[in-house]
A and B are shown apart, each in its own frame.
Chain A
Amino acid sequence: MVGDRVSVSLSGVAPEVRRRERRTRLVGLALLLPAILLGLAFLYLPLVFTAQMSFTEGSSYLAPTGPVTTVDNYRVMIERYLPNLFVTIQLAALATLADLLFGFPFAYILVRRVRYRDIVRALMVFPMFGALYVAFGMGFALLPGGPLDPILSALGIPNTAVLFSLPAVVFAMAIFTFPFMVMNIGTALSNVDPTLEEAAACLGARPMQTFRRVVVPLTRSGIVAGVLMVFGWSIGAFAEPLVLGSLNEQRSLALTIYERGVVQNDYGLSSTMGIVLLLLAFVVTYFSLRYSRGALAA
């Protein structure tokens, strides 16, 4: 028994325990390794490469004389392409606003009143099949003779004013991202006990007061998360401006990146745009991850 005592180190933890803890940690890291490698090799490394590329001139990377280092791309970005950034943000902001305005009541009714939720879920996946089909289908819907034509004329809006315009693009973008907004707000709402609203009503609050002073504060995290998520997804919009937009909307950064990079082979400038768009996305994502209750949260 004296021998047993010796193996207990001064700090009071047996070396055997340390060794096993270290082994467990290594096994855990080994299990994570494939995911980390995939992310590093095919996301983070290419992004670093892109950042590097954004400081080279045009397609000079391919030139036999070697890449020409320059900050010109960023100067050009600021001098000539700020409107593109603004259009990108404008489209995303409008789509997000539309999603919030129409999504909150939708989520509220869905959580509090709707029993046929599986049907709703099934139909809600349609936009998720892709912005391409949404934009394509909306194009048909807005055509003269399409299903939205009578509604538009009833509202006194000429058909031609909508198709290939900013409203059409925002409309399609909003539909594509709507499920994400509803998911975030709906999750927050379903965590709010309905008796709180009943309690407010019994204390004499009018429905609007209950809504403003009880429901909204309690679901704020879901609202913020939804807004950030939808905005983050919307700044990368590609198919909607391409299919439904005018030349103005087609200036959105994602489309410009393709035009300059793949069509015109201006790798330097398109990389710069990519980095700008990426930074915008990461800022949004940072706040989004902070506000949303991720899967790892308790």
Chain B
Amino acid sequence: MATVHLTSLTKRYDETVAVDDVSLDVADGEFVTLLGPSGCGKTTTLRMIAGLVEPSAGRIVFDDQDVTYLAPRVRNIGFVFQTPALFPHLSVSDNIGFGLSVKGFAKPAIAARVEEMLAMVDLAAYGKRLPAQLSGGQQQRVALARVLATDPRVLLFDEPLSALDKNLRDSLKYSILELQRRTGKTAIYVTHDQSEAFAISDRIVVMNAGRIEQIGTQTDIYLHPRTPYVAEFIGANNGLPGTVTGQEGDGDGTRILVQAGNRALRCRGRDGFAPGDAVIAYVRPEDIEILDGASDQRFENVLEGTIDRVIFEGPTAQLRVEVDGRELRVDVSGNQRLTLMQRDGRIRLGFDAVTLIAAPVPA
């Protein structure tokens, strides 16, 4: 049980900066996910928290203890790697007992704890086997049991599911969450998979190029991405640059009016925008609907465009629609995707209030 505080954490390798001034506070028992593409510094950050990589600058504090320069073995952390990293020459039981054994616990105590851990991950009958005799999912569960056996202060996960196939990933991510909830441990989880992050986190930290782009809950990040990078990373691919012209409504119904080219768009209300501000309005491909004429009234925003291309992908179809010289992507599912096959020419698109982000000032 512990809180984790990162202060201005930085890692430089010669010329490159892998992690740049990262500060983050994780509450006791919280499940925080570092989300970002490969090379964004999320794994390096995690490895610094574990002590496997030394920071070039900054502080790491667990509770009140400064652990910045402590060796991993005295930090009392549990690290689950991308691969299960089970010691191939030791049995499952010896793997789970390894942490207690190197700390000098007595054999009976270790055996009891191993039993308990095996039961916890539903592998009670597998103690005598060698890791190679287990499936990938079972191995990763043993890896979980192995770190939990030492009763660590913080659980650290480095893309633990990326080496597994899709079905296993889905079931195992909930096992991880369930074990974390049951043990009440603080957890920091690294992944590049947005849906994985959304499914299990209390809070998500989106990282890019070594920096934190945004920290927030799923809805914060999904509905109010703070930067164009976050918006695009979580799938809002259609960006329409424009200028704020005004505001109307109040409370949840607040709408900011944006002039994008010769279109007026109604965007979800948010503080900090004034008329004249340059903004980008983002709308997700799956949030756009194709209008057949009768239902126009249902949507706050309606655009008209020309179909460029229809890409049929089986369960869904992808539409590329040109609107005022800008290509929008529209994802269509259900029956509509079948009728679209024959469509071309002009088309009308409808969508509700869109996400708004301050546009980066052109350099």
Residues of chain A whose beta carbon lies under 8 Å from any beta carbon of chain B: 1, 4, 8, 12-14, 16-17, 20-21
Contacts and interface: CB of A to CB of B under 8 A. Distances in A.
Contact of A20 (B7, B59, B69): B69
Contacts of B12: 12-13
Contacts, number: 24
B53 to A, nearest CB: 11
B10 interface: yes
A278 B304 CA distance: 84
Contacts of B68: 16
Nearest to A17: B54
17 contacts: A4-B7, A8-B57, A12-B10, A12-B12, A12-B57, A13-B12, A13-B56, A13-B57, A14-B56, A16-B68, A16-B69, A17-B56, A17-B57, A17-B69, A20-B54, A20-B69, A21-B54
Contacts of B56: 12-14, 17
A26 to B, nearest CB: 16
- Which 5 pairs from chain A and chain B are nearest by CB? A8-B57, A13-B56, A16-B69, A4-B59, A17-B54
Nearest to B56: A13
B228 interface: no
Interface string B256-283: 0000000000000000000000000000
Contacts of B69: 16-17, 20
B55 interface: yes
Contacts of A14: 55-57
A13 B7 CA distance: 15
Contacts of B59: 4
Given A4-B59, A13-B57, A14-B56, 8 more contacts: A1-B7, A8-B57, A12-B10, A12-B56, A12-B57, A17-B54, A17-B55, A20-B69
A16 B54 CA distance: 10
Nearest to B57: A8
Contacts of A17: 54-57, 69
A21 B12 CA distance: 14
A17 B10 CA distance: 12
Interface string B114-144: 0000000000000000000000000000000
A278 B69 CA distance: 49
Nearest to A24: B54
A236 B62 CA distance: 63
A20 B54 CA distance: 9
Contacts of A12: 10, 12, 56-57
Contacts of B55: 14, 17
